[in-house]
């Protein structure tokens, strides 16, 4: 007993358990690998690297098909190569363009006239960073003893996977467990010229020519983010909206975001769908479209057409039928343990039906799955109250329920919405617009008023909401929030000053930054 207590306190107890478990897995296994991961994105690699920590023999099969425009990339998945990372870098580049003008107002002797970015240089430095991350990822896999094969894996039967080597040789292997983590790719509309003449977010971050006047088709977060960084870099984007902006997000906040973009000169074609794209004799792109409200047709000429109409899961090459894995449309159906219809086959990340398509979700769910499979853990992924951010010039970040969701679940009489506009101190000197700087807390109406959702539009929204997300998951209440002393002067402190409710009808506009 004393030895057991000593092991527990020293941390060696965990190591002993892991060694015993790993040894039993290897000795009992009748398969080539304990785990095969299909896909080399965030979720798949997190699962693979976590599994080898517990002694599992792991192989990752990963291959990226070039886009119709010819774009291809290395290991790491969407986030690293054509998603979160290059998007954030382009976002930062556009914000720096604004900052140059603000610097003049703050007394810097900067010539802010005729400032324009060098698109090719920007693309080059962004791609160089991505390639460095690709290299570090490959080295990390090698150091952690995760076998990596650059090939598409597909099922022969529930425990057997086949793939082709670079030399064209067909190989097969067996696995005790399989994790499907192939993610998704952007959709193209079924119209003339869409594939031949348009690009997607898979292409824009390595696009060799300047985008120029750009039509962004789609008003989800990808479309809005692309339109905003293009505008910030000096180009002329137009957003085509089929129905509403930011479907699935809080409606009031989404409309605020669209209004902010309009104020900055971004054009919207509302309730409009594309009908066709063709190249003009001058090399431009002529887009025909239809307004579904008025049923009138129109057209316009652009330099670039970027499709941002959603994503599809990459299941077509997996031969899931041979394994008996059930799907819905192009996504894999899983239960609360990430298990598919076949008990030893799992899925994580964007390929899962009905779960948040976010990199941190994929990473954590992949790690937790590996611990359950190879370390005896019972901890499940909690998909509720996941924070997210839309990286527009004024960012929108949220966690928990939207106002509409709270009303639907609890009833309008059972919720209270605390809200307010605010004026960031740093906006005053350059006279930046704070018309759309706004935040709200959606809470229960009774007791200490448990907070159900937090929403914020303003500077560095992701940095603000990340900490509040942990508080919300821990049961944050309005009472606790209002008893928290804010850090002054910050925009995050505005959450600690939310005292006006929508129900009261009182104007939530402050007189100054300190009122």
In whole angstroms, give the CA distance from residue 341 to residue 353. 13
- Residue 32 assigned ligand-binding role: no
In whole angstroms, give the CA distance from residue 166 to residue 431. 58
- The backbone region for 312, taken as left when phi is positive above 0, alpha when psi lies in -120 to 50, beta otherwise, is beta
Cβ distance 456 to 464 under 8 Å? yes
Assigned token pair, 350: 């964007």
- Residue 225 assigned ligand-binding role: yes
In whole angstroms, give the CA distance from residue 367 to residue 386. 17
Question: What are the residues facing 379 on neighbouring strands?
Answer: none
The residue with tokens 């009992």 is 28
Cβ distance 100 to 117 under 8 Å? no
- Residue 350 assigned ligand-binding role: yes
In whole angstroms, give the CA distance from residue 229 to residue 87. 8
- Residue 218 assigned ligand-binding role: yes
Question: Quick one: pLDDT at residue 3?
Answer: 33
Residues near 430 by Cβ (< 8 Å), separated by ≥ 6?
101, 102, 105, 106
In whole angstroms, give the CA distance from residue 395 to residue 464. 10
In whole angstroms, give the CA distance from residue 351 to residue 233. 33
In whole angstroms, give the CA distance from residue 385 to residue 35. 30
- Give 45's Cβ-side CA count (13 Å radius): 23
In whole angstroms, give the CA distance from residue 148 to residue 407. 48
List, as one string, the DSSP characters of 356-368: ---HHHHHHHHHH
Q: Other C-beta atoms within 10 Å of 206: how many?
A: 20
Question: Quick one: pLDDT at residue 515?
Answer: 60
Per-residue pLDDT of the chain (515 residues; tens, 9 = 90+): 333 334 334 444 345 444 444 444 444 479 999 999 999 999 999 999 999 999 999 999 999 999 999 999 999 999 999 999 999 999 999 999 999 999 999 999 998 888 889 999 999 999 999 999 999 999 999 999 999 999 999 999 999 999 999 999 999 999 999 999 999 999 999 999 999 999 999 999 999 999 999 999 999 999 999 999 999 999 999 999 999 999 999 999 999 999 999 999 999 999 999 999 999 999 999 999 999 999 999 999 999 999 999 999 999 999 999 999 999 999 999 999 999 999 999 999 999 999 999 999 999 999 999 999 999 999 999 999 999 999 999 999 999 999 999 999 999 999 999 999 999 999 999 999 999 999 999 999 999 999 999 999 999 999 999 999 999 999 999 999 999 999 999 999 999 999 999 999 999 999 776 66
- Residue 219 assigned ligand-binding role: yes
Question: Quick one: pLDDT at residue 14?
Answer: 47
- Residue 44 assigned ligand-binding role: no
The pTM (predicted TM-score) of the whole model is: 0.93
Assigned token pair, 365: 């769910």
Distances (CA, A) of 426 to 64, 91, 419, 513: 44, 19, 21, 10
- The backbone region for 324, taken as left when phi is positive above 0, alpha when psi lies in -120 to 50, beta otherwise, is left
In whole angstroms, give the CA distance from residue 246 to residue 254. 6
Question: Quick one: pLDDT at residue 282?
Answer: 97
Domains in the chain (CATH in brackets) are 33-186+312-375 (3.50.50.60), 187-309 (3.50.50.60), 388-499 (3.30.390.30)
> What values do phi and psi take at 14, rounded to 5?
-65, -40
* List 344, 419, 455, 488, catalytic entry: 488
Distances (CA, A) of 496 to 285, 451, 465, 500: 50, 13, 13, 12
In whole angstroms, give the CA distance from residue 446 to residue 450. 8
Assigned token pair, 167: 């030399």
Cβ distance 71 to 204 under 8 Å? no
Question: Quick one: pLDDT at residue 112?
Answer: 82
- Residue 220 assigned ligand-binding role: yes
- Residue 153 assigned ligand-binding role: yes
In whole angstroms, give the CA distance from residue 192 to residue 297. 16
Give the torsion through C-alpha atoms of 421, 426, 428, 432, to 10 deg.
-80
Asked about 488 being catalytic, the answer comes back as yes
Count how many residues are written for the chain. 515
In whole angstroms, give the CA distance from residue 266 to residue 224. 10
In whole angstroms, give the CA distance from residue 482 to residue 484. 5
| Closest by CA position to 182, among listed 65, 66, 83, 88 | 65
Q: Other C-beta atoms within 10 Å of 513: how many?
A: 17
């Amino acid at each position: 007993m004393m030895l057991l207590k000593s092991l527990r306190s020293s941390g060696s107890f965990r190591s002993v358990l892991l060694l015993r478990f790993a040894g039993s897995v290897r000795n009992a296994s009748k398969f080539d690998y304990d785990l095969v991961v299909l896909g080399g994105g965030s979720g798949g690699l997190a699962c693979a690297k976590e599994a080898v920590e517990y002694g599992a023999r792991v192989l990752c099969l990963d291959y990226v098909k070039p886009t119709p425009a010819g774009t291809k990339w290395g290991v790491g998945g969407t986030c690293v190569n054509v998603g979160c990372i290059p998007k954030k870098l382009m976002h930062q580049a556009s914000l720096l363009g604004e900052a140059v003008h603000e610097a003049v107002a703050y007394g810097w002797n900067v010539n802010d006239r005729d400032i324009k970015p060098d698109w090719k240089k920007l693309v080059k430095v962004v791609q160089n960073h991505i390639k460095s991350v690709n290299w570090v990822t490959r080295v990390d896999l090698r150091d952690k003893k995760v076998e990596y094969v650059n090939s598409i894996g597909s099922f022969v039967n529930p425990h057997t996977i086949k793939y082709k080597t670079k030399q064209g040789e067909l190989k097969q292997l067996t696995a005790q467990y399989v994790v499907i983590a192939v993610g998704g790719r952007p959709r193209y509309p079924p119209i003339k010229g869409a594939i031949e003449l348009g690009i997607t977010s898979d292409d824009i971050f390595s696009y060799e020519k300047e985008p120029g006047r750009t039509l962004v088709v789609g008003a989800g977060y990808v479309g809005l983010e692309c339109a905003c960084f293009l505008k910030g870099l000096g180009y002329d984007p137009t957003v085509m909206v089929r129905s509403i902006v930011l479907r699935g997000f809080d409606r009031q906040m989404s409309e605020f975001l669209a209004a902010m973009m309009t104020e900055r000169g971004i054009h919207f074609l509302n309730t409009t769908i594309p009908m066709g794209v063709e190249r003009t004799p001058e090399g431009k792109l002529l887009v025909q479209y239809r307004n579904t409200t008025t049923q009138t047709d129109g057209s316009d000429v652009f330099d670039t057409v970027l499709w941002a109409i959603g994503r599809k899961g990459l299941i077509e090459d997996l031969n899931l039928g041979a394994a008996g894995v059930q799907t819905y449309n192009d996504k894999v159906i899983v239960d609360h343990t990430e298990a598919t219809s076949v008990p030893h086959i799992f899925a994580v990340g964007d390929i899962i039906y009905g779960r948040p398509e976010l990199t941190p979700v994929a990473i954590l769910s992949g790690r937790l799955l590996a611990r359950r499979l190879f370390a005896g853990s019972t901890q499940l992924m909690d998909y509720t109250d996941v924070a997210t951010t839309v990286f527009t010039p004024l960012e929108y970040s949220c966690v928990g329920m939207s106002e509409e969701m709270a009303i639907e679940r609890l009833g309008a009489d059972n919720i209270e919405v605390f809200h307010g506009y605010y004026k960031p101190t740093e906006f005053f000197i350059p006279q930046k617009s704070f018309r759309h700087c706004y935040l709200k807390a959606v809470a229960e109406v009774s007791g200490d008023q448990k907070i159900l959702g937090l929403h914020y539009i303003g500077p560095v929204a992701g940095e603000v909401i990340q900490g509040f997300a942990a508080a919300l998951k821990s049961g944050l209440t309005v009472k606790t929030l209002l008893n928290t002393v804010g850090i002054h002067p910050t925009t995050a402190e505005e959450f600690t000053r939310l005292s006006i409710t929508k129900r009261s009808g009182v104007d939530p506009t402050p007189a100054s930054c300190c009122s």
